[in-house]
Structure 1
């Protein structure tokens, strides 16, 4: 096995951020279960795209009861749920600490979030020339701080990853070659 074969990708998921963006900014309401991303598609997409193993870490804030059925579903899909409790933005703190710890490893990293709070960590990860870094999310909601980081790939959850079973009501710029007026009549 070569060093390249041993590499893996860490997929760091800020589920709260994706859920909030989907609900508040795209749907304008709390998403129904069938409108949420098919989380298993994120794992398989990046595994195919980067041709290496993927370790999915799904960060959750747990204030009350444990969301047992959701956690069981994540485990069944191959994720490691990381359930957190405490003061402050516990998911952000945990993802930042994880990103910092990954600086000591040679593995590749994909952040699933739009949150600018991760820009310093992602910047440091992207500065390692042999490491691939990426962001998954909705392109129109990506923070300008994250967008400015060089050497970071971007994968749109809907258009690239195909993580949804139905088309979302997103506003987007349409290439004139793809414009069909019947979509709007």
Structure 2
């Protein structure tokens, strides 16, 4: 690692609503049980190990209803995330707006970025970051549910990490139907 890499850090931005909605509606067909939810400390650890540098974990929450899930917020704080509870009008996608603004702010600073989301709304900001020389940008998601706008940026350098197979964020095997790279195929899973 070069000396300037030691000063670098990774910004990990988590779109908790998007990850939870994709997991619940698209993979499980219902509300995830505690065992079926991501282990966010593993996600944070993966972010630190991936590029071998300190991570600033930012977890965006929609608090427009005036309530905060305090036990979840306290757990996030305990493992090293900075919860960012946002509120706005009912028609505003407050988490998306907050993440977009944060990605724009990061563009004027140094550091690498990992975004946990499937949402194509972030493609313009991610594209700007991917196009900067020397900046590493990654996506943490379920590959098969990643928006085509984000997936299209892989040819330009966006790295995609699967939350289940690459990050190992889950305690249980999820019932996913996805294309399986041959080197990951385990026939025992299907017997």
* TM-score, length-scaled by structure 1: 0.95
> Partner of 1:85 in structure 2?
87
Distance of 1:61 and 1:80 partners within structure 2 = 14
> Partner of 2:126 in structure 1?
122
SS in 1 for 2:178: coil
RMSD after superposition: 1.5
Distance of 1:184 and 1:130 partners within structure 2 = 42
- Is 2:57 the counterpart of 1:56? yes
C-alpha displacement of 1:176: 5.4
- Count of aligned residue pairs for this structure pair: 184
Q: 1:142 to 1:175 in 2, by over 3 A?
A: closer
Q: 1:129 to 1:70 in 2, by over 3 A?
A: same
SS in 2 for 1:123: helix
Q: 1:42 to 1:104 in 2, by over 3 A?
A: same
C-alpha displacement of 1:179: 5.3
Residue segments in structure 1 that go unaligned for 5+ positions in a row: none
Q: Deviations over 1:63-103 (max 9, x none)?
A: 24211100000000000000011120000000000000001
> Partner of 1:74 in structure 2?
76
C-alpha displacement of 1:175: 4.6
Distance of 2:33 and 2:19 partners within structure 1 = 14
* TM-score, length-scaled by structure 2: 0.92
> Partner of 1:164 in structure 2?
170
C-alpha displacement of 1:173: 2.2
Q: 1:184 to 1:92 in 2, by over 3 A?
A: same
